[in-house]
Structure 1
Amino acid sequence: MIKDPSISVVISTYNSIPWLEKTLWSYEHQIFRQFEIIIADDGSNEETKEFIKNYIEKSAKKIIHVWHEDKGFQKSMILNKALTACNAEYVVMSDGDCIAREDFLQIHYERREPGHFLSGGYYKLPLELSEKITEEDIATQRSFDAEWLKKNGLPASYKNQKLTSGFVTAKIMENLTPTNASWNGHNSSGWLKDLKAINGFDERMQYGGQDRELGERLFNYGIKSKQIRYSAICLHLDHARGYKNQESIDKNKAIRKSTKDKNKDFTPYGIVKEEK
């Protein structure tokens, strides 16, 4: 077990054992080995807690389970608690429904740079294919093979090139893509000191852009971003989003507008709370 990790991997989850298990399997097969896992659990039930406890006992990885009481969608809050539990200087953040390719952490580690954060993307799978992927499919990495995925129900799409591009092509595509290199909660990384300097996530924000708002404060703080969406690959497993609502999205848009208009690089509603 790693005592002094170079990377803390923060994985968010909530009552989704099958997807979390597939996600954790993918970190058992990473080329890069010097990491710990922080499971940021937004109030999952006893069944999920028992699953995580049992998984930790059988895994050789250093895994820390950070949990709080279920009070609705409070991902920003649990992510802040997870950040305070990190033991590495560098943090990779993803979700418990994202299977990481074997070189996922290696790419984040090699591309990290002072004064920058890394912005990755994901490749979304349909529900039936998400359910079909097994531990062996992840261990052999065939779950990242475009031809194997097509044989198992993946529709044809120009987006498939994200899975087939080699190292050189991926770098070229990252230089050419018009997609903004924003902080994306499913696949981004940065220095813990920078994330703490802006006080982490704004805990007023529920579903809808809280990750982007954090990235916008990093920009305002003077941190630049680098695109790795074609290099650091993860597969997003499909599921329903019962927590999505327009009221939350509208509130978050207003907070993001304030961050942008006032050039804010710090939230008083983050890791450290301002005394009233």
Structure 2
Amino acid sequence: MISSAKSSLIISTYNWPEALRFCLQSVADQKIMPAEVIIADDGSGPETRAVIEAMRPLLSVPLLHVWHEDRGFRKAEILNKAVQHSSGEYLIQVDGDVILHPFFIQDHLLASELGAFVRGTRARITEARTSELLSSLDSASSYPSLHALSPGVYNRLNALRLPWLQSLGERKEMKSRDVRGSNLAFWKADFVRVNGYNNDLQGWGHEDEELAVRFINNAIVKKIVKLRAVQFHLHHKEQPREHEPFHAHTIQKAMSSKIKTCSNGYGRD
């Protein structure tokens, strides 16, 4: 049964308007729409704003653009700000460099469960196929139709949507490992309870996993879903990882000390 809760789709982005357009085109094609779409923009330039304005008429729901100044990688902060602007009870979070299966939102609403947050998976697209797709970007009304057997797709198991076998692709655990903000869903009340993302985590690396630690420390279980909520991740170069040791230390401290909230998070202006 699909959750009757009002949902918000939050899409994080930074200076890749071509990918964001693919992502928003796939949102426009959803079989069940969220109540609103919110772009969490970590300081992109005017090209990204132009894409958002061009795509707004194609969506049947409000499209909000939450932006802050570019002062380095501050994904945690902009996601907190996006959630502050959300009106949904249930929040579905993706990155702006993914293409969503048409049943992506429906699948997440079906997977939603009180006392749980949902971690999905993603298939990947090779560098060559990504370049090919982006070079063909010539229409605001079309985007690539992808499936598990499409050329250039790997991690193909993650591209399978077999909802009648969903019980085989579902499990729960009280571990924060392998949580990715690119395919994540949670109740807004739970997010507020743990004070959201930790703004101290600046630069690339595991801000989503640290959030998951605090969910789990509050007895909110991780629900892993496969064979549904399918997305395809466009290839890009990896981000610099000079902050990763500090982030890893923060995660370990949250785990060992059973930290349930953060001081510099959602509630801070």
TM range (shorter): 0.7 to 0.9
Q: TM-score, with normalisation over the residues of structure 1?
A: 0.86
1:184 and 2:180 equivalent? yes
Structure with more helix by fraction: 1
**Identity of matched residues, %:** 28
**Cα offset, 1:110, TM superposition:** 1.1
Taking the aligned partners of 2:57 and 2:73, their CA distance within structure 1 comes to 28
Structure 1 residues 84-120: Cα deviation after superposition (integer angstroms, max 9, x where no partner): 0111100000000011101111011011111111110
Cross-structure match for 1:229: 226
**Cα offset, 1:180, TM superposition:** 6.8
Distance 1:122 1:8, change over 3 A: same
Q: What is the Cα-based RMSD across aligned positions, in Å?
A: 2.8
Distance 1:5 1:164, change over 3 A: closer
Query: Where do 1:76-225 residues align within 5 Å?
Result: 76-133=76-133, 143-147=145-149, 149-150=150-151, 153-154=152-153, 159-164=155-160, 166-175=162-171, 183-206=179-202, 207-225=204-222
Distance 1:225 1:235, change over 3 A: same
- Which stretches in structure 2 are left out of the alignment for 5+ residues? none
Letter in 1 for 2:250: I
Cross-structure match for 1:261: 256
**Cα offset, 1:131, TM superposition:** 3.3
Structure 1 residues 229-254: Cα deviation after superposition (integer angstroms, max 9, x where no partner): 3311000000113x422x30001011
Q: How many residues get paired?
A: 262
Cross-structure match for 2:50: 50
Cα contact 1:5–1:34 (8 A) shared by 2: no
Distance 1:136 1:60, change over 3 A: farther
Taking the aligned partners of 2:95 and 2:215, their CA distance within structure 1 comes to 20
Letter in 2 for 1:144: L
**Cα offset, 1:49, TM superposition:** 1.9
**Cα offset, 1:63, TM superposition:** 0.5
**Cα offset, 1:272, TM superposition:** 1.6
Cα contact 1:5–1:36 (8 A) shared by 2: no
Cross-structure match for 1:270: 265
Letter in 2 for 1:260: M
Q: Which consecutive aligned stretches of 4+ in structure 1 deviate over 4 angstroms post-superposition?
A: 134-137, 139-142, 179-182
Cα contact 2:176–2:210 (8 A) shared by 1: no
Taking the aligned partners of 2:91 and 2:183, their CA distance within structure 1 comes to 11
Distance 1:181 1:118, change over 3 A: farther
Distance 1:59 1:141, change over 3 A: closer
Cα contact 1:25–1:135 (8 A) shared by 2: no
Letter in 2 for 1:146: A
